[in-house]
Amino acid sequence: MTRYTSATPGDRDEMLAAIGVDSVDDLFAQVPEPLRLGKPLALPLGMSEAEVFERLSALAARNADAEEQVCFVGAGMYDHYVPAIVDAITQRSEFLTPYTPYQPEISQGGLQVMFEFQTAMSELTALPISNAGLYEGPSSVASAGYLAMAATGRKRFVVSRGLHPHSRETLETYAVGYGAEVVEVGLRDAETDAEALAAAVDGETAAVFLQSPNFLGAVERVEALGAAAKEHGALLVVATDPMTLGVLKPPGEQGADIALGEGQPLGNRLDFGGPSFGFFCATEEQIRRMPGRIAGETDDVDGRRGFVLALQTREQHIRREKATHNICTAQALNALAAMVHLAWLGRGGYRELGELLLRRTAYARERLAAVEGVELLHGAPVAREFAVRLDAPVDRVLERCAERGIAAGYPLGRDYTEYEDGLLVAITERRTKAQIDDLAEALGAAVAAEAGEFGITEMQKSPVPGEASR
Amino acid sequence: MTRYTSATPGDRDEMLAAIGVDSVDDLFAQVPEPLRLGKPLALPLGMSEAEVFERLSALAARNADAEEQVCFVGAGMYDHYVPAIVDAITQRSEFLTPYTPYQPEISQGGLQVMFEFQTAMSELTALPISNAGLYEGPSSVASAGYLAMAATGRKRFVVSRGLHPHSRETLETYAVGYGAEVVEVGLRDAETDAEALAAAVDGETAAVFLQSPNFLGAVERVEALGAAAKEHGALLVVATDPMTLGVLKPPGEQGADIALGEGQPLGNRLDFGGPSFGFFCATEEQIRRMPGRIAGETDDVDGRRGFVLALQTREQHIRREKATHNICTAQALNALAAMVHLAWLGRGGYRELGELLLRRTAYARERLAAVEGVELLHGAPVAREFAVRLDAPVDRVLERCAERGIAAGYPLGRDYTEYEDGLLVAITERRTKAQIDDLAEALGAAVAAEAGEFGITEMQKSPVPGEASR
Amino acid sequence: MIATETPMQRERTQTIYEKSKSGRRAAVLPAAEVPERPLEELIPAELLRAEPPCLPEVAEPEIVRHYNRLSRRNFDLDTGFYPLGSCTMKHNPRLNERVAALPGHARLHPAQDPKRAQGALELMWLLQESLGEICGLPHVSLQPSAGSHGELAGLLLTRAFHADRGEERTKVLAPDTSHGTNPASVTMAGYEAVKVATNERGGVEMDDLRAKIDEDPDQVACLMLTNPNTLGLFDENIAEIAALIHEAGGTLYYDGANLNAVMGHSRPGDMGFDIVHVNLHKSFSQPHGGGGPGAGPIAVSERIEPFLPRPQVVRRQDGNGSGPVFGLDLDRPKSIGRLRGFQGNFGVFVRSYAYILSLGADGLAEASETAVLNANYLKARLAEGRAGKRLPVAFDRHCMHEFVLSGKPMKKELGLATLDLAKRLLDYGFHPPTVYFPLLVEEALMIEPTETETKESLDAFAEAIERILAEAEQDPEVAKSAPYTTPVRRLDEVKATRRPVVRQPL
Amino acid sequence: MIATETPMQRERTQTIYEKSKSGRRAAVLPAAEVPERPLEELIPAELLRAEPPCLPEVAEPEIVRHYNRLSRRNFDLDTGFYPLGSCTMKHNPRLNERVAALPGHARLHPAQDPKRAQGALELMWLLQESLGEICGLPHVSLQPSAGSHGELAGLLLTRAFHADRGEERTKVLAPDTSHGTNPASVTMAGYEAVKVATNERGGVEMDDLRAKIDEDPDQVACLMLTNPNTLGLFDENIAEIAALIHEAGGTLYYDGANLNAVMGHSRPGDMGFDIVHVNLHKSFSQPHGGGGPGAGPIAVSERIEPFLPRPQVVRRQDGNGSGPVFGLDLDRPKSIGRLRGFQGNFGVFVRSYAYILSLGADGLAEASETAVLNANYLKARLAEGRAGKRLPVAFDRHCMHEFVLSGKPMKKELGLATLDLAKRLLDYGFHPPTVYFPLLVEEALMIEPTETETKESLDAFAEAIERILAEAEQDPEVAKSAPYTTPVRRLDEVKATRRPVVRQPL
Ligand SMILES: Cc1ncc(COP(=O)(O)O)c(C=O)c1O
Ligand SMILES: Cc1ncc(COP(=O)(O)O)c(C=O)c1O
């Protein structure tokens, strides 16, 4: 027996007798002899709970988390405060331990949460249909590609370079599978190049993919950019940050056919990148092509209100090779976390949070722009993240800031060779004015120190905050 | 509205109209004008959840907890590993948020837990009656005094100096109230002085108080010591450590009338000293004099098994000034934690844990005794805690160890002027052999450094571990 | 007819012991790592236990299931309305659980050198300061573990205070509406409990008070008062009461169980009280835990301060100017001494301090205001319709945070006892109010909605009462045999006391 | 007759939106601290939202109550037996939740410099190594987010593998017993799904397999197999199957949903599989969360390795001899690329690694052993009495960790469909088995007890089935109208699909 199993030697004997075999080995006889391992796995023996705890605590201690370093890193996942009720509710056994609600009578809790979540996401994006969540952001983008192919019968995607690099790469990975072509359109002063986009979209284009705010933080003119898609009958797919939709015009009001994105900012912790969830909303037209679970409202035999998995005929367990997607296990618990967070914020709080991010981000942007050796990478409007250029090697500056306990941002050079000197700085409600001031100070000091060390010539700086631009 | 209240301005208006007043102030009119505060409290304004979290995290960060320092401090509370299921279960709303089970039909969960807990504590102590828990250890000792007075009609307590100093002091505090006299009996080589005890007990003695293992860690010969109590018709009250009763002869088998103690080691975290609980077990004879809640098994109208608060006629809400005790709100959740921990250990695990403590403690004791400048304070048998003497000022040695990340023990000089050079060292299953070795190393180095600094002459040390004694 | 009781309703409960099977277990322990010496080498054989105690033998999955299933047999505040009078069943924020669980709090040893526990001591000091401000009294001890412990402390302080002046007094007065812990504490502190009558406005009957004092003013040690009292009424004569007691040389003790009515509006210190206990598990949102843990800090006036329990958390200005240092003051020669081990229920302090920070001066005042508004609204709702007739309010004036109804007409006219109404409420999904207390109201129902309930909850509760009364007019047997929907129904409490079975025979 | 339904059973459910009232809220936000500039100064007016989205307006206490009450409308593994076949509903240790919640894990930003995330990367590397050992394959990518994602990854790897050799193949074979995700993944990866028949022993029909291969061996990209398969049977011909596929030049894909049967006993790599996905939310105790999160790491053979997704966690020996350094390898020229953002479901990795550490080599083998024992015992119990007659096992041989019964005789003889039996089980407090899958078994019931169930649970389940059948012999209507004890009963699923209402109109 391990601590999680209960079969005592006595139980075993009784059970074996009932089965009519002498030993458990007899049951494994169906495994051909040469395929039986016949020796223990080359893994350590089991450990006590306290030892496992210590071991994993020791590993965790070797990570510099957002408690240890003030975190200005975003790039799709953000250090928001997750309210305590989110944990309390998601850790309830009744939500934590069941599986997909195949038996609606005993799954009304989970099903209703899905329905509420769908309502909330539909509200956020201003699109009428939402599923109950997909794995996470970038793979949701790829799923939109699959949908667009089915909807249009076309196999060509036009993608803005402002789309998250992980999303672009994931889309390409999937596209190799389902046989689509991906065409990228570049940026101009951090915004998608409208002309190039218009030129790239044609009658073979299944979908146009935009992101707003885009990876550089710029709020895109989605509606204008989307015109090209409309013109050629391609779907307009818009990735977005769900924390910005209290203040930014939602994709559904800008002509998007599909709005999707990484759900982490809503109630999910950073977790080194997962689990979180992807949200996926669309127009009525796409309802029967949607990927993932969808809960629907209905009645029971007594006329009582209830919820079930709706439109299951789209899904793999019914339609197999003809399913609209292969997804099965998704991210229900993460969607619950998002729903609780949204309910906690409420209409007013959600709006205010969006405003708070906008204002603090504007402050931070101006504050940083005023720092010697730091200038704005673009002047486009931003919501909660912005990009700067540094007059010193970004990695070295980051290292210096890290030593001061600040994770200063995301180095754009990781994904954009054209922005080797770029740093992406993200703001959440946890980043106080004082921390922003510290960041400015630290960046300035780091750039100066590096510049001193490497003899980089100082550049002329615009002295007035806000006027800095390239 | 705060975030925890719901009355919108509209609600308020409707409610005031229903009440028939114009404003809430009208309701406060019953408070005489001069007694109305008329200004805000001199406290800060309310803060957001994230801010409160940060504020309290910052305070917590200024404490050196057992995660930061390897903890050899005991003295009644111990750094045991609390299994994860304890938290999961005690944090369930259904256990966390109700109050005392006055309505048994909707409180069967809590009542049954009390019943199970009583069974387990009765087993541990080998006494037939247990209550459902009191506040904590020392005040339980004082409560035993109150019971003993009622049981014997006498007003004199004889107390071993081996009883926890907090227990002795608390007993004295209470005794001033209920008008009893406390007589203390000293120790001899760390064990209660049997002769002095026999001499102190007389026909006016209501109870004799012992502790085993006592404060210096020594396992007392309770039965022999208790003879004096039996002889004079006094109750024998034994405080004990509930983590040792898997291996040590329980109080009930040594003639105790009452066994009690601090419950923290069972499933409760350190929490800087509370909340935990006190357990309190007794002979059948005392059942109607017991303090605190007691659950009892019974049937309902349909003959179904159930549990209720039994023997309520002892309690303050029924008997008022004639109650056996004044306790009302106790420590139900902490008792639940203990019960879950005990179920998790199970009969086998509980025994093994006791053995583990014994063996590791023996190892630690020998290891330390072999250190230059450290010698055993006593040679009495010990279970999980032992005392040494240091050849250097204890405070300074502790400070040096602390700087190395070790909380080396409890300085006996805090409570015993006769042991100014004494250090009490506690072992739990979390203290590994490697940590014990580190402790030995650190103590040795610290004593040597202090001795060097203060020019204390080195003493002759017995080189053979285990033979060290005074 | 097919039963519609859920499987959990139907099941005969088993204890964890009954699920035990020899050899099963949840715990795996670390290896000893040290020599496996026979125990007899370490402990004399006669001090060793022969047989380990009987504990359940169950693997982890079944432990979790057992306690999860048991938990579902509880009604709780996070599930429904819980208007248990005098208990302030207000919302328990999960934020507080989160901060209490931080390792810097949860794994801090109580004997840690104060130098390395500055955060904890500062938190305690800040809580002391906050409670002092709320109570209008300059000094606070956090040590008492609950309200009743605070009461005992207050009486011991009173004794020490008088002893210090060379006096020894014997009597403690308390109104007949007082909570059971008050007289029980009086006895435990070695005093004689003297009951004071209640007047027709629900306050202290001044003539009776005067009479009780005048009997022998020198013997009056203290008057214990709850204000607003357990009827939910603020005593309009409080200033005069205080004057009378002080004149007689007694102390005035404030049972703070009802502080939730007046936070930020009126302060016991300003009313003339010398000693106040605060129930952190009531006014300051510590979860009730099924009957604890709580904490009962006491706030006291200047003249009582020297006698406060030790240790006391103090703030000192450090010599080297590097800011304040927090310490545990043990050197208190006049102190009554310790009331318990270590420093009190620190985990409770963390939660309550988080609550005070969350609400702040504005939020606390608003909380009391809404508590009073909710209570008066529910009272008004229950003054309508059937409830108004069958369940009149005991004292007809505006209440503070709670109010008391009398089920006397209901009993007379419908044959329904307050207990029956309470049991029937269970079927409607509500926790019943406190019943049969205070004692001077016949068939009492004591209702405290708290500020964290919505108007909708209050309305639903009023409607349930109305429906139960309507039902009873048709057929009183419905309520008299209630509840019907709970896992067990009307348990035999007499049997449990006459032939108590308080542990499982194994 | 007085209803004995509990208030929660009776209540008409309301959504959180229906509990909303304008102006209420739970959140208080920090002050902005920075100038309150008009938004139009920051964002062009035409990009601003006119009206904030409609979100519920509810204070915290009601949010907690709402979701707590909803949670009670779920059946869960921590409350009862959940023998949902193919899903491995084993105990979810709380220890795993605890370690996942450590701030060093939970608040670690995924883009953190690897240098400052060494603990996380080492954990991932250790998990990779452990899964590789368990699967008998040398390389692991943790990236896939669930089983179906792993399947897609496996097929993309297959495509890359063939492309690298200049081949392009079009067909993927899978038995008719395969899970729905298999063919769905095949289509999504741009292949054609080809079904292979099942033989009378429940394994792959070898003749059909050969025929399907021989049709056009060059087009066979892959065979996807679950082994033991969804009938709970180990394919005795696996060696030959592997040889046939490899001979044709295809890859062999192992759907690891049933790995729980063979951990430490038999390894897919040793069986000849090239690519394996592991469902961490099945075999490795990640809680199912009501439908996720999970993770579907893949283990692959040497020849597949170059194509693994990027980034890959790698261990490097540091130049300066100070021990290994862990990194994210992006420089993988042949890689199929990313399957998702960042590094995968790290929180799930923490839990599963904690589980592997807890059980160890010995515990994992014991878990599989007990899983197989429990399944065979329950199968034996259900071969007795009424169940034995009405619900025969689909393939009568020893099973591995699960087995499939057929309700065909029950339907014919008693008029009871498998669905009716499932619904009636709800009244007995059990989660029903997986029903109507695998498709080739008529009226299928797929039962997987897992190793963490007690013999008592298995017995109770067998007895419930027996009683339901006995009941049905008396009156089949009882089951046909079941359940009776749930908050809702037999919901109209057709309506929900025909006229879908998938969000609340506001
Ligand atoms: C009025 C009153 N006084 C005193 C107490 C005793 O407080 P505690 O239960 O915290 O000991 C209570 C509550 O139970 C009470 O309601
Ligand atoms: C046999 C089998 N294959 C594949 C899957 C798909 O796995 P997932 O749900 O993790 O995508 C499942 C489970 O749902 C399964 O049972």
Residues 6+ apart with CB under 8 A from A420: A394, A412, A413
DSSP character string of A335-360: HHHHHHHHHHHHHHHHHHHHHHHHHH
Contact C30 B109 (CB under 8 A): no
CB atoms within 10 A of CB D168: 11
Q: How far is the CA of D251 from the centre of ligand 2 (A)?
A: 20
Q: Is D99 in the pocket of ligand 2 (CB under 6 A)?
A: no
Contact B345 C55 (CB under 8 A): yes
What atom of ligand 1 comes closest to residue C258's alpha carbon? 1
DSSP assignment letter at A255? T
Place of tokens 């960046």: A443
User: How many Å apart are CA C364 and CA D22, to the nearest integer?
Assistant: 23
Enclosing H/E stretch for C103: helix C103-106
**Among chain D residues, CA nearest to A38:** D265
Contact D97 B3 (CB under 8 A): no
Name the residue among B458, B376, B355, B352 with its Cα closest to residue B425.
B376
Residues 6+ apart with CB under 8 A from D31: none
Residue D61: strand, helix, or coil: helix
Provide the total of helices (H) and of strands (E) in chain C, helices listed first: 18, 12
* Neighbors of chain B with 3 or more C-beta pairs under 8 Å: A, C, D
Give C367 or B1, the one with higher predicted confidence.
C367
User: How many Å apart are CA B162 and CA B214, to the nearest integer?
Assistant: 5
The backbone region for A312, taken as left when phi is positive above 0, alpha when psi lies in -120 to 50, beta otherwise, is alpha
pLDDT at B458 over 70: no
Quick one: which ligand is closest to D286's CA? 2
From chain B, the residues in CB contact with C346 under 8 A are 271-275
* Neighbors of chain A with 3 or more C-beta pairs under 8 Å: B, C, D
- B201-208 mean pLDDT: 98
Q: Is D86 in the pocket of ligand 2 (CB under 6 A)?
A: yes
Place of tokens 């063979």: D262
pLDDT, mean over chain C: 96
CB atoms within 10 A of CB A453: 11
As a whole number of Å, the CA-based R_g of chain C is: 26
DSSP assignment letter at D188? H
**Would you call A311 an interface residue with chain D, using a CB distance cutoff of 8 Å?**
yes
Contact D452 C3 (CB under 8 A): no
The dihedral formed by the CA atoms of D344, D346, D347 and D352, expressed in degrees to the nearest 10: 100
Q: Determine the length of chain C.
A: 506
Q: Specify whether the CB–CB gap between C316 and C324 falls below 8 A.
A: yes
For residue C19, the distance in angstroms to the closest alpha carbon of chain A comes to 11
**ipTM score of the complex?**
0.97
Burial D441-464 (b: 16+ CB within 10 A, else e): bebbbbbbbbbbbbbebbebbbeb
Contact C289 B348 (CB under 8 A): no
Q: Is D446 in the pocket of ligand 2 (CB under 6 A)?
A: no
Confidence at residue C1, expressed as pLDDT on a 0 to 100 scale = 55
* Neighbors of chain C with 3 or more C-beta pairs under 8 Å: A, B, D
Q: Specify whether the CB–CB gap between B440 and B367 falls below 8 A.
A: yes
Residue D206: strand, helix, or coil: helix
Contact A49 B81 (CB under 8 A): yes
Enclosing H/E stretch for D310: none
Which residue has the CA at smallest separation from atom 15 of ligand 1?
C257
DSSP assignment letter at C304? T
Residue D23 C-alpha from the chain's centroid = 41
- The 3-state secondary structure of chain B reads CCCCCCCCHHHHHHHHHHHCCCCHHHHHHHCCHHHECCCCCCCCECCCHHHHHHHHHHHHCCECCCCCCEECCCCCCCCCCCCHHHHHHHCCHHHHCCCCCCCHHHEHHHHHHHHHHHHHHHHHHCCCEECCCECCHHHHHHHHHHHHHHHHCCCEEEEECCCCHHHHHHHHHHHHHHCCEEEEECEECCEECHHHHHHHCCCCEEEEEEEECCCCCECCCHHHHHHHHHHHCCEEEEEECCCCCCCECCHHHHCCCEEEEECCCCCCCCHHHCCCCEEEEECHHHHHHCCCCCEEEEEECCCCEEEEECCHHHCHHHHHHHCCCCCCCCCHHHHHHHHHHHHHHHHHHHHHHHHHHHHHHHHHHHHHHCCCCEEECCCCCECCEEEEEECCCHHHHHHHHHHCCEECCEEHHHCCHHHCCEEEEECCCCCCHHHHHHHHHHHHHHHHHHHHHHCCCCCCCCCCCCCCCC
Q: How many CB pairs under 8 A join A and C?
A: 55
Confidence at residue B467, expressed as pLDDT on a 0 to 100 scale = 38
Task: Let me know the angle formed at the C-alpha of D113 by D107 and D119, rounded to the nearest 5 degrees.
Answer: 60
Contact D454 C59 (CB under 8 A): yes
Option in C24, C61, C93 nearest A8 (CB):
C24
Residue C174: strand, helix, or coil: strand
Digitized pLDDT (tens) for each residue of chain D, 506 residues in all: 577 787 777 788 999 999 999 999 999 999 999 999 999 999 999 999 999 999 999 999 999 999 999 999 999 999 999 999 999 999 999 999 999 999 999 999 999 999 999 999 999 999 999 999 999 999 999 999 999 999 999 999 999 999 999 999 999 999 999 999 999 999 999 999 999 999 999 999 999 999 999 999 999 999 999 999 999 999 999 999 999 999 999 999 999 999 999 999 999 999 999 999 999 999 999 999 999 999 999 999 999 999 999 999 999 987 677 789 999 999 999 999 999 999 999 999 999 999 999 999 999 999 999 999 999 999 999 999 999 999 999 999 999 999 999 999 999 999 999 999 999 999 999 999 999 999 999 999 999 999 999 999 999 999 999 999 999 999 999 999 999 999 999 999 999 999 999 999 99
The string of pLDDT tens digits covering residues C144-189 is 999 999 999 999 999 999 999 999 999 999 999 999 999 999 999 9
- Partners of A388 in the beta sheet? A376, A423
For residue A5, the distance in angstroms to the closest alpha carbon of chain C comes to 6
Where residue B454 falls among pLDDT bands split at 50, 70, 90?
Answer: low
As a whole number of Å, the CA-based R_g of chain B is: 26
The string of pLDDT tens digits covering residues D127-165 is 999 999 999 999 999 999 999 999 999 999 999 999 999
Contact A45 D360 (CB under 8 A): yes
DSSP assignment letter at A110? H
Where residue B1 falls among pLDDT bands split at 50, 70, 90?
Answer: low
Residue A299 C-alpha from the chain's centroid = 34
Q: In what order do the strands lie in the sheet with C434-435?
A: C403-406, C444-447, C434-435
User: How many Å apart are CA D4 and CA D415, to the nearest integer?
Assistant: 30
Q: Specify whether the CB–CB gap between D268 and D278 falls below 8 A.
A: no
As a whole number of Å, the CA-based R_g of chain A is: 26
- C276-304 mean pLDDT: 98
Option in B1, B85, B88 nearest D24 (CB):
B1
The string of pLDDT tens digits covering residues B348-388 is 999 999 999 999 999 999 999 999 999 999 999 999 999 99
pLDDT at C140 over 70: yes
What atom of ligand 2 comes closest to residue A326's alpha carbon? 11
Q: Specify whether the CB–CB gap between D373 and D400 falls below 8 A.
A: no
Where residue C357 falls among pLDDT bands split at 50, 70, 90?
Answer: very high
Residue A461: strand, helix, or coil: coil
Q: How far is the CA of D255 from the centre of ligand 2 (A)?
A: 8
Peptide bond into C228 cis (omega under 30): yes
Confidence at residue B460, expressed as pLDDT on a 0 to 100 scale = 41
Option in D2, D79, D456 nearest C69 (CB):
D79
Residue C503: strand, helix, or coil: coil
Q: Is B326 in the pocket of ligand 1 (CB under 6 A)?
A: no
Could you tell me what percentage of chain D is helix, strand and coil, using 3-state DSSP and rounding each to the nearest 5? 40, 10, 45
What atom of ligand 2 comes closest to residue A327's alpha carbon? 11
Q: How far is the CA of C358 from the centre of ligand 1 (A)?
A: 25
The string of pLDDT tens digits covering residues C308-317 is 999 999 999 8
Q: Specify whether the CB–CB gap between C98 and B49 falls below 8 A.
A: no
The backbone region for D208, taken as left when phi is positive above 0, alpha when psi lies in -120 to 50, beta otherwise, is alpha
Residue D149: strand, helix, or coil: helix
The string of pLDDT tens digits covering residues B39-87 is 999 999 999 999 999 999 999 999 999 999 999 999 999 999 999 999 9
Q: In what order do the strands lie in the sheet with A374-376?
A: A374-376, A385-390, A422-426, A410-411
Q: Specify whether the CB–CB gap between B356 and B217 falls below 8 A.
A: no
Average pLDDT by consecutive 10-residue portion of chain A (470 residues)? Answer: 89 98 97 97 97 98 97 98 98 98 97 98 98 98 98 98 98 96 97 98 98 98 97 98 98 98 98 98 97 97 96 90 94 98 98 98 98 98 98 98 98 97 98 98 97 57 38
What atom of ligand 1 comes closest to residue C146's alpha carbon? 10
- Partners of C300 in the beta sheet? C139, C275
Enclosing H/E stretch for D399: none
Contact A71 D109 (CB under 8 A): yes
Contact B93 C77 (CB under 8 A): yes
Residue A426: strand, helix, or coil: strand
Residue A457 C-alpha from the chain's centroid = 40
Quick one: which ligand is closest to C89's CA? 1
Q: What percentage of chain B has pLDDT greater than the value 70? A: 96
Q: In what order do the strands lie in the sheet with B205-212?
A: B129-130, B278-282, B258-262, B235-240, B205-212, B156-160, B181-185
For residue D461, the distance in angstroms to the closest alpha carbon of chain B comes to 23
The string of pLDDT tens digits covering residues C5-31 is 877 777 889 999 999 999 999 999 999
- Partners of B261 in the beta sheet? B279
pLDDT at C320 over 90: no
Q: Specify whether the CB–CB gap between D225 and D174 falls below 8 A.
A: yes
DSSP assignment letter at D393? B
Confidence at residue C8, expressed as pLDDT on a 0 to 100 scale = 72
Q: How far is the CA of C235 from the centre of ligand 1 (A)?
A: 19
- Maximum pairwise Cα distance, chain B: 88
Quick one: which ligand is closest to A99's CA? 2
Q: First-to-last CA distance in chain B?
A: 68
Best mutation target, B2, B4, B49, to test chain A (most A CBs within 10 A) = B49
DSSP E strands in A401-457: the ranges are: 406-407, 410-411, 422-426
- Partners of B185 in the beta sheet? B160
pLDDT at C469 over 90: yes
Option in D5, D11, D429 nearest C4 (CB):
D5
Confidence at residue C12, expressed as pLDDT on a 0 to 100 scale = 87
User: How many Å apart are CA A335 and CA A279, to the nearest integer?
Assistant: 9
Q: Is C86 in the pocket of ligand 1 (CB under 6 A)?
A: yes
User: How many Å apart are CA D390 and CA C232, to the nearest integer?
Assistant: 66
